[in-house]
Amino acid sequence: MVLSILGSAGIKVVNSDREYMGIIEYLDRYIENLESKVSSSSYQAYKSYYKKLKEWLKDEGALKGGLDWLTLRKCEDWYVLLLKSMTPKSANERLNYLSRALDRAVDEELIEVNPAKKVKRVKRGETLDRMAFDLDEANQLISWLIKKKDPLMKEWAYAAMLAMMAGCRLKDAVNMPISALKDGVLTYTSSKSNKELKVPLMISEYADLLAKVKGEFICPGLHQYFEKSGKNRMSSEFTELVILAGIKQSYHKFEKSERVIAQKTFHSLRHTLRTLIVSGGGSDAQADLILGHSPGEGKRYTHSEMDSLKKVLDDALN
């Protein structure tokens, strides 16, 4: 009976005589065995991927779970999460990494079915449409958050301000030290590109609020929450706040799949900034410079470039 229930969920434990193996333990062993079978560069890529997977598993409460915890639905949740941060092609590739690990578990008779193989994948050429907030929606969201009595809501407002004015990603916004803000300019190193970025904050009302924050971090509560819960859970909670703030949410439905993804997320504020820059007369190159997509590492900003960025952002946001 138990085995049939697990099978309907997409996975079935078939060798009851084997010693119980937790999912994290199994992945650690799988990765260790890969080292002698693939190139050094491939091994590092696998290792990096499985590190992120294990962080997600930890966030989902799977630390004490066995392989039966990883059902089809959980594999779908992981795939959807991948699609939020990368192209469908890259997400499919990373889902294949998990599928290979579970194929090995099938070979070892730890499970009968590989649930990752049953995930309905986005077809090549089918894109995930992310939607930007318009300027009124972004301001409405920030205003709603500021008015809440919960200190964390105010910090969410600060994080949204950083994303809207400077294009900060969620990880960078909630971990932003107060020392990064000086004389109306935000100077920080992107956690993704490892580039130093300098962005003038051109909405004076928001810049003034951020300048008044005391302590080590602009969002101290969210900083601690991030360390405990991780980016994925925080991103989902922000999406819920968008709806609570009265902003109409849009969703992307994948072809031949019942799964949908919210299109207005924290990352959408970066898209908002790019859209406003370009529609306000700024160039794609200037938008890339502000958002950290410009080529080269450790770029030095000249005085003329900073003046130009100030004008572009002022035109876009005011």
Task: Note whether 251 and 262 are within 8 A (CB).
Answer: yes
Q: Which of 131, 165, 86 is nearest to 264 (CA)?
A: 131
CB-count exposure of residue 139 (10 Å: 0-12, 13-18, 19+): middle
Which residue is it, tokens 């080269």? 296
Query: Is the distance from CB of 222 to CB of 152 less than 8 angstroms?
Result: yes
Annotated domain spans of the chain: 2-114, 135-317
Q: Backbone dihedral region of 274: left (phi > 0), alpha (psi from -120 to 50 degrees) or beta?
A: alpha
Give 2-114's CATH code, choosing from 1.10.150.130, 3.90.1150.50, 3.40.50.150, 1.20.1250.20.
Answer: 1.10.150.130
Our separate counts of H helices and E strands in the chain read 14, 5
Question: pLDDT tens per residue, the chain (318 residues)?
Answer: 333 333 444 444 444 444 557 888 898 999 888 888 888 888 888 888 888 888 888 888 777 778 888 888 888 888 888 877 777 778 888 899 999 999 999 998 888 899 999 888 876 555 555 678 889 999 999 999 999 989 999 999 999 999 999 999 999 999 999 999 999 999 999 988 888 999 999 899 999 999 999 999 999 999 998 888 777 778 878 988 998 898 877 666 655 455 556 678 898 898 889 888 888 888 888 888 888 875 544 344 455 566 777 787 888 787
| CB-CB contact of 84 with 267 (8 Å) | yes
Do residues 77 and 33 make contact, with C-beta atoms less than 8 angstroms apart?
no
| Distance between CA atoms of residues 178 and 211, nearest Å | 8
CATH of span 135-317: 1.10.443.10
Cα–Cα distances (Å) from 233 to 13, 77, 147, 160, 239, in that order, read 29, 12, 23, 16, 10
Provide the phi-psi class of 249: left if phi over 0, else alpha when psi is between -120 and 50, else beta.
Answer: beta
